[in-house]
Structure 1
Amino acid sequence: MRIGLLTDGGYPYATGESRLWCDRLVRGLTQHEFDLYALSRSAEQEAQGWVQLPIQVSRVRTAPLWMTDEDILGGHVPKGLLARLVTGGGGRSYGRRERRLFTAHFTALATSICTSDATAEGGDGGSTADAADAQFTDGLYGLAELAREHGGLPAALRSETAVRVLEAVCRARGTGRTVHAATVPDILTLAAELDRVLRPLSLDWYDEESLGAVDLCHAASGGAAALPGLLAKRFFGVPLLVTEHGVQLRAHYLAATGTALGAPVRALLAGFHGRLATEVYRQAALITPGNTHARRWQERCGADRAKLRTVYPGMDAARFAALGESNDEGGPDTLVWVGRIDPSKDLIALLHAFARVRKAEPDARLRIIGAPAPGAEGATYLAHCRALAAQLFPDEAADAHAVGENPVSFEDIGGAEVSDLAEAYAAGGIVVLSSVVEGFPISLVEAMFCGRATVSTDVGAVVEVIGGTGLVVPPRNPRALADACITLLRDPERRARLGAAARARALELFTVEQNLAAFRDIYLELISRSPVRREADGAPRPFASPPEAQVLGSWTVPAHTPSWATEGACAGALGTADRDG
C-alpha cells in the first residue's frame, strides 16, 4: 500500500513532535510505501533539515505555516518555498463570482465558531450544536474547493472582505458576551490567525498525482496535520486514520493561556479548533489515541467510541536492556529526576519534598538530570530552581556542581558523570516524576525499562502507564511526594519488587514491536473496509505495492507464456488450495 503520512511540526524534520515515533513506524513497516506530507512550524525547523529517510519513503512534500503576512507579501520567502505553500502564487485576486463564493463560505465558517454550544444547553442544545457543525463543514469544504479551483486563499483571507465578515458575525445577535466585546484590533488579529490555520487548504497537494494517489492517509496528530487528510477524503475518497498521543485541542487550550491574545480572540480560536476536532473525528475511519487520557478527551470532543482504539507509542527498549537485566540498584539512597526542565515539571515542589526527605533520611541525595527547555523561560526556571536548592540546603551547597558532595545536583546528559540516558537512570534507586502537566510520560516508561521503582504525580496518563507498579501521589503536594519517597528509601525489597514488575509491564505494552504490530493490522483492516477505488475507465485502481511484490523471485507472467499455461497453473493452484482446506 501507499500511505500518505501527514505531520505537523515533526517528521521528517530533525526536530519536532512525534519525530521518533514516525521514523520507527516508517522503518518498521517495510512492506508499505510512504509519501510524507509535512507542515513545518518555524524557519529554524526548516533550517535544521531532515532526518535520514529510509527507502520506503518515495516522496516528501513540505509546506511552511510559520510565515507572517510581511514575509509573503514582501517577497521575503524564497520562490521555491512559496510555491509549496499555494498554487497560483497566493496573491491572485478573485473575480466577482469567486468573491461572492468566498464571502458565503467564510461567513458560514465564521458564524459557526461564534456559536457556543454552552449557550444552548437548554432545550435545543443538540440541534444548535449540530447546526453549527454543519455550518462549519459547509464553510470549510467550500473554501477548500474554492482554493483548489481558483489558486489558493491567502489573498482573500487577508482581504478587507474577510475582516468585514468577522466584524459582522462578532456583532451579530446571539453571540456570547466575550465575542461581542471584540475590538477592531481583536478582529484583525483573528483574521491573521485564521489565515495561518487555514493555509493547508491552499496547498497544491490535492490532485491525482499527490494525495489522490495514496491508498490511506495517516495523520500523526489532529488539528492542522489532519486537514489535508480531510480534503483527501473529500476529493478522492481516501480513508483517514488519525493518531493522537496528545490531543491537539487540549494542547491549543493550554498554549492559548500563555499568549498575549485577547479573550475574544482566544474564544473564537477555541471555537474553530473545537469544530475542527469534531469534524476530524467524524470523518476518520479509525482514531488511535496513545493512551486513555487522550481517549477521554477525544470522546468529550465527540469521537465515536466504536472508532477509538488505544495504541501505546512504541519505545526502544534495547538501549535500556543491560541496565534492566543487571538488577543493579545504582545509588540506593539517591532519587533521580530525568527530563526537560520547565515549569510544568514542578521541580519547585520536588525540591521542597526533598527537604522533608533529607530530614528523615540524612544520607539521601537528589540528582536532577536534564537540560532546560529552549528559550528564556527554561533558563530562568532552571536558575530559580538552583537558587531554591541553595536556599533550602545553605550549608551544603558551596559547590553547586560537585556530584557526591551536595544533596542536590543539577547535571546534563553527556557530561562526565552522566554519559547517556541509561546512565541517568542508573544513577539512583528511585526515579521521581513531579509534573503538574503531562501527556504520555516518556521518562516514566524509560525508568520502567530500566527496572526502577518510581514515585509519580497523578497527571496525564501516569496511572495508566504505571498500572500498580509504582507509587502515585497528588500533584502539587510536596508532603505526599516526600512520604512516598521515604517509604521506598526504607524498603529495598519493595523497591526491587516494584522495579521488576514495572520492567515486565513496559516490555509487554510499550515497545516498538507492539506498536508496529498494531498499525500493521490497522492498515490492512482499514483497506479491507474501504470501497474499491477505480480509474477513470472504471477499472479497479491497484495498490502502490501489490501483495505479490513481497514474493521472492519472479511473480509476473512472461509475455510469451501461452494462455493455457497460465490457466492451468491457476487451476492447479486453486485445486491444491481446495484440497488443503
Structure 2
Amino acid sequence: MRIGLLTEGGYPYVSGDARLWCDRLVRGLGQHGFDVYALSRSERQQGEGFVELPTQVGRVRTAPLWTAGDDGMAYGRRARRRFAECYGELAAAVCAGDAVGDAAGAASGDGSLDVADRFGSALYGLAELVREEGGGLTGALRSETAVRALESACRAPGALRAVRGARVPDLLTVADRIERTLRPLSLDWYDEQNGLGSVDLCHATSGGAAALPGLLARHFWGVPLLVTEYGVRLRAHYLDACEESGPVRALLAAFHGRLAAEMYRQAALITPGNTHARRWQERCGADRAKLRTVYPGMEASRFWEVGERGDCADPDTLVWVGRIEPDKDLVSLLHAFAAVRKARPKARLRIIGAPAERPAAAAYRADCKALAARLFPDEVGDVRGIGGRPVPPVPPVSFEEIGGPDAPSLAEVYAAGAVVVLSSVVEGFPNSLVEAMFCGRATVSTDVGAVVEVIGGTGLVAPPRNPRALAEACVALLRDPERRALLGAAARARALELFTVEQNVAAFHGIYLEIVSHCPVRRAATGATGEPQPFAVPAEAHVGARWTESGTRPTSASGPRWATEAAGAAARSGVAGVRSESGAAGAGSGAAQEPVPAGKGTR
C-alpha cells in the first residue's frame, strides 16, 4: 500500500520533532511505499536539508509554516461572500461555549455535535473555496472581513464569557494565529493523481496543522486517516498562549479544541504514545473504540552491552540526562542532592545535558551552575598523587555534554552511574528513563506525565517539586546494591518488551493493514465523457508485474511463478504494497514478512 506520511517540523528534515521515530518506521516497513508531506517550522530547518531517505520513499513535498506565502490573489464578490459565510460559521462555532467540554459532551451524545458539525462544515467549505478559486485564502484569513467575523462571534448571545471583552488587538492576534494554523488548506497537495488523493492511507505524525491535509484527503476522496500523537498538540497550544491576554487565550484554546475534536472524529484510528496523551484525547472527544496505545520505539542495540554487563563504574554516582530547561526542575534536584550528600558524603551527581540552543536555556543552565557552586563550594584539600603532586578534588556536581571526554556516549554515561534520576515537573514520554532501563539501571523519578506508566514497578517515584522525597529515594537505592540490581534487571526486561523499535514497527504494520481492510479507498474510473466505467480497474492492475501485457497468465491455483515475479518486479521498480500469498516481501524488504494480526502489539 502507499502511505501519505504527514509531518510538522520533523521528518524528513535533518533536525526536528519525531525525526528518528519516522525514519525508523519508514525503514522498518519496507514492504510499503511512502509519500512524505512535510511542513517546516523555520527557515533554518528548511535550509538544513533532508536526511538520507530510503528507496521506499517515492515522493517528498514540503511547505513552510514560518512564512505566509501570500499569492496576492484577491477574491471576487461571490467568493468574498462565500468566504465571509464560511469564516463566520467557523468563528461562531469557536465562540459557542467550551470547545473541550463540548467535544466530550458530543461523545456522550448530549446534543453538542451540532456545533462540531458547524465547525467541520465551515472548515471544509474554506478548503473547497480554495480549490475552486485556485488560492487566495491566506490574504482572506488576514482580512478585515475575518476580524469583523471574529468580533461579531465574540459579541453574539451565548458566546464564551471570556471572549466578550476581546479588543481589536486581541482579534488581530487571533486572526493571525488561525491563519498560521490553516495554511495547509492553501497548499497544492490535494490532487487525485499526484497528491494525497492517490494514497491508500494518510498517517499524521501529530495533531494540529500536520493532520489538516489528512482531513482534506478524507473529505475529498475518502482516504482513511491515522493520527499518532506522542506529544498532544492541544496541550502545547495551551502552553504557548499562556502569556497572551485572557480573550486571546480563550479564543485560541477554543479554536484548537474544535480542530482537535474534528480530527479525532474523522480519524479511522488514533494512536497515543501513552496513557497520559490518551486521557487528553478522550477529554477532547476521541472515541475510546478508536484509541490504540502504541509506545514509541527506541533503539536498544546501542545500550545492549551495558545492559548485559549490569555493573556500574561508581556505586555512589547519580546520573541525570536531558535538556537543561526550567521544566526539568534541576533546582529541586540540586537541593535534593545536598541532602543526599549529608547521608552519603561520597555521592556524586553528573548532569549530562544537550548543548543549549536558545538564550533562555543557556541562562537557566548558568543559574543552575551558580546554585551548585553555592550549595557545593570547591573542596580544597591536600590530596597527593603520584610523585607527591596535588590531585584536584572531584567536584560533587558536574555539568557535562555528550561527546566530551568524560561523556563520549550515552551508553557510557549510564554505565558510569548507579542510579538514574529524573526531576521534571512537566514530562511527556521520558526517553531518558527508557534508555536507563535498557542499560539495566534503577531509577528515581518524579510522578509526572507518563513516568509511572513507563517504569511500572521497576523504579522509585517521588512527588514533583519535593526535594526531600527525591533525596530519600536516592539514598535508599544508594545504600542497597541488591535492590538496585533487582530493579535494574526488571526495568531492562520491561523496556525490551515494550519500548523497542521492533515492537513499534510491528504495531503500525498491523494497524495499517487493519485500517485499509476496513476503510479502503473507492476510486471510480471514468471515461472521456465523465461517465463511470465499471470493471475498468481489474484486480491485476494492483500487482506490480506485467504478465497481463506479455500474455503470461497463472496456470495453477498456487501460481508461485507469477506471484514471485510480481514481488521481484515490485522490488526492482520501487512499487510498494505488493505481497504474494506465499509471504514474499515487497519492495526493499529482502525477506519474508509475516503479517501481524490486527491490533497485535498496540496495547
TM-score by structure 1 length? 0.89
Per the alignment, in what secondary structure is the counterpart of residue 298 of structure 2? coil
Per the alignment, in what secondary structure is the counterpart of residue 101 of structure 1? helix
Which residue is 1:78 aligned to?
none
1:372·1:378 contact (CA, 8 Å) conserved in 2?
no
Paired with 2:272 and 2:340, the residues of 1 have a C-alpha distance of 37
Which residue is 1:266 aligned to?
249
1:409 to 2:398 alignment: yes
Which residue is 1:107 aligned to?
88
Q: Between Structure 1 and Structure 2, how many residues are aligned?
A: 538
1:235 to 2:220 alignment: yes
Which residue is 1:315 aligned to?
298
Displacement after TM superposition at 1:570 (Å): 3.9
Paired with 1:263 and 1:496, the residues of 2 have a C-alpha distance of 51
Which residue is 1:329 aligned to?
312
Paired with 1:10 and 1:298, the residues of 2 have a C-alpha distance of 22
Paired with 1:397 and 1:65, the residues of 2 have a C-alpha distance of 54
Q: Do the aligned partners of residues 299 and 408 (structure 1) sit closer, same or farther apart at CA in structure 2, a change above 3 Å counting?
A: same
1:519 to 2:504 alignment: no
Which residue is 1:579 aligned to?
none
1:206 to 2:190 alignment: yes
Per the alignment, in what secondary structure is the counterpart of residue 189 of structure 1? helix
Displacement after TM superposition at 1:569 (Å): 2.5
Displacement after TM superposition at 1:541 (Å): 5.7
The percent identity for this pair of structures is 67
Per the alignment, in what secondary structure is the counterpart of residue 112 of structure 2? helix
Displacement after TM superposition at 1:117 (Å): 2.9
Q: Match for 1:419: what amino acid?
A: P
Paired with 2:326 and 2:465, the residues of 1 have a C-alpha distance of 12
Paired with 1:165 and 1:8, the residues of 2 have a C-alpha distance of 29
Displacement after TM superposition at 1:145 (Å): 0.5
**Structure with bigger RCO (C-alpha 8 Å, 6+ apart):** 2
Which residue is 1:158 aligned to?
142
RMSD: 2.3
Per the alignment, in what secondary structure is the counterpart of residue 55 of structure 1? coil
1:361 aligned to which of 341, 344, 368: 344
Displacement after TM superposition at 1:393 (Å): 1.1
Q: Do the aligned partners of residues 192 and 251 (structure 1) sit closer, same or farther apart at CA in structure 2, a change above 3 Å counting?
A: same
Displacement after TM superposition at 1:50 (Å): 1.1
Q: Do the aligned partners of residues 161 and 406 (structure 1) sit closer, same or farther apart at CA in structure 2, a change above 3 Å counting?
A: same
Displacement after TM superposition at 1:180 (Å): 1.0
Which residue is 2:16 aligned to?
16
Deviations 1:181-225 (A, max 9, x none): 111111111111111111111110111120000000000011111
Paired with 1:544 and 1:205, the residues of 2 have a C-alpha distance of 28
Q: Do the aligned partners of residues 543 and 211 (structure 1) sit closer, same or farther apart at CA in structure 2, a change above 3 Å counting?
A: farther
TM-score by structure 2 length? 0.85
1:187 to 2:168 alignment: no
1:342·1:372 contact (CA, 8 Å) conserved in 2?
no
1:140 aligned to which of 98, 123, 131: 123
1:534·1:541 contact (CA, 8 Å) conserved in 2?
no
Displacement after TM superposition at 1:538 (Å): 3.8
Q: Do the aligned partners of residues 571 and 303 (structure 1) sit closer, same or farther apart at CA in structure 2, a change above 3 Å counting?
A: closer
Displacement after TM superposition at 1:129 (Å): 3.1
Deviations 1:356-403 (A, max 9, x none): 0000110100000113542111011001100100111124399xxx99
How do residues 370-449 of structure 1 correspond to structure 2 at under 5 angstroms? 370-396=353-379, 405-449=394-438
Q: Do the aligned partners of residues 572 and 19 (structure 1) sit closer, same or farther apart at CA in structure 2, a change above 3 Å counting?
A: closer
Paired with 1:571 and 1:173, the residues of 2 have a C-alpha distance of 69
1:276 to 2:268 alignment: no
Which residue is 2:159 aligned to?
175
Which residue is 1:37 aligned to?
37
1:459 to 2:448 alignment: yes
Per the alignment, in what secondary structure is the counterpart of residue 569 of structure 1? coil
1:532·1:541 contact (CA, 8 Å) conserved in 2?
no
Paired with 1:510 and 1:274, the residues of 2 have a C-alpha distance of 30
Q: Match for 1:177: what amino acid?
A: R
Q: Do the aligned partners of residues 103 and 541 (structure 1) sit closer, same or farther apart at CA in structure 2, a change above 3 Å counting?
A: farther
Displacement after TM superposition at 1:139 (Å): 0.8
Q: Match for 2:131: what amino acid?
A: R
Per the alignment, in what secondary structure is the counterpart of residue 224 of structure 1? helix
Per the alignment, in what secondary structure is the counterpart of residue 458 of structure 2? coil
2:540·2:548 contact (CA, 8 Å) conserved in 1?
no
Paired with 2:429 and 2:222, the residues of 1 have a C-alpha distance of 32
Per the alignment, in what secondary structure is the counterpart of residue 523 of structure 2? coil
